[in-house]
Amino acid sequence: MNHATEPLSDVDLQALAEKTTRIVNEIQTVIIGKAKAVRLAVVTLLCNGHLLIEDIPGVGKTMLGRALARSVGGSFKRVQFTPDLLPADVTGTAIFNPKTAEFEFRPGPVFGNVLLADEVNRATPKTQSSLLECMEEGQVTRDGVTYRLPHPFFVIGTENTTESQGTFPLPLAQLDRFLMRLSLGYPSNEEELLLLERQMKRHPIEDVKPVVTPEEVVTLQEMVTSIHIERALREYVVKLVDATRRHSAIHFGASPRGSLGLMRASQAYAATAGRTYVIPDDIKAVAPAVLTHRISLKPEVRARGITAEGTVEEILRTVPVPVLRR
């Protein structure tokens, strides 16, 4: 069945909702107290997008990637980005084989289902670009030969918000390649106590089991595109993005890629709620994660302490929400 062109049946919808719920629940056995962030990470995967996490060290960014990879039965690769990291260290390189007198391609860590690009802003722009090309095209070209990346291919880029010395900030055009940007934050006292109790003898990541296969994830990604979104809601998406381009505090607003990402993310969010259609609350739930990293505030605005998050929230409050008749 071609899910991209046919409406979802009740059976398809039930399977989509059940499988995504199983993925979320399995990840939450490790990532405690971050239900919304986990759900949005899974939504990003369902959209065949990529995720950027900006946060302090030690809050579970790496563990989120490992848990997600294990829950979908996929391979997990991690690369620590540093200033001396070369593009070939990420994508792969050609090694001379003296037995065959030929160069052989040795795949790099991008040839995995889930890639954690740790502190991606510490690598040079050239190395950053090599990763972002893989994210956009889903392939690596070396010496005129194209190698397809596995499906699904999901990149989690991380940035340490406490240190900026020796970093190469991602430009807006490259940030635009990430579907969502999230922050995990500190756990509450109760959540941290539960975390200690669960890790007294062994790390719970060892108990995370695959609840779906990579092939099933690809099918779920196809099914998400069949979630119905009314024309009025598509217009609402366009108006929200257009508002980022007209807002007095914003220097550069979101691109059309932001509109597409917002629509697709709302479809996946609706699917995780067990619905075959999008409602305004789906769009409002994903909008901050989809839009905040796609806008650039004016310097004088940032100097007054105004944030991208606060500006997007203001836009959500001011743009009229369409009333749907069902």
Q: Which of 135-139, 146-150, 322-326 has the lowest mean pLDDT?
A: 322-326
Q: Is the pLDDT of residue 10 over 70?
A: yes
The chain-wide mean pLDDT, for the chain, equals 91
**Positive or negative CA dihedral for 245, 250, 251, 252?**
negative
Name 78's bridge partners. Answer: 116
Residues 87/127, Cβ–Cβ less than 8 Å: yes
| Each residue's pLDDT tens digit, 218-250 | 999 999 999 999 999 999 999 999 999 999 999
Confidence of residue 141 (pLDDT cuts 50, 70, 90): confident
Dist. CA 62–CA 72, nearest whole Å: 16
Confidence of residue 174 (pLDDT cuts 50, 70, 90): confident
Instruction: Give me the residue spans of the domains in the chain.
Output: 1-188+211-226, 228-320
User: Is pLDDT above 60 for 4?
Assistant: no
Mean pLDDT in residue range 80-108:
90
* pLDDT tens per residue across span 98-127: 888 888 889 999 999 999 999 999 999 999
pLDDT level of residue 1 (50, 70, 90 thresholds): very low
* Class level of CATH domain 1-188+211-226: alpha beta
- Examine the pLDDT at 312 and tell me if it is beyond 70: yes
Residues 67, 71: Cα–Cα separation, whole Å: 6
Query: Which 3 state secondary structure label does DSSP give 251?
Result: strand
pLDDT, residue 3, reads: 52
Residue 6 pLDDT greater than 70, yes or no: no
Amino acid identity for residue 230 in this structure: E
Residue 261: closest CA among 181, 138, 176, 179:
179
Task: Inform me whether the pLDDT recorded for 326 exceeds 80.
Answer: no
**Cα–Cα distance between 238 and 260 in angstroms, integer?**
9
Q: Which CATH code, of 3.40.50.300, 3.40.1500.10, 1.10.8.80, 3.30.565.10, is assigned to 228-320?
A: 1.10.8.80
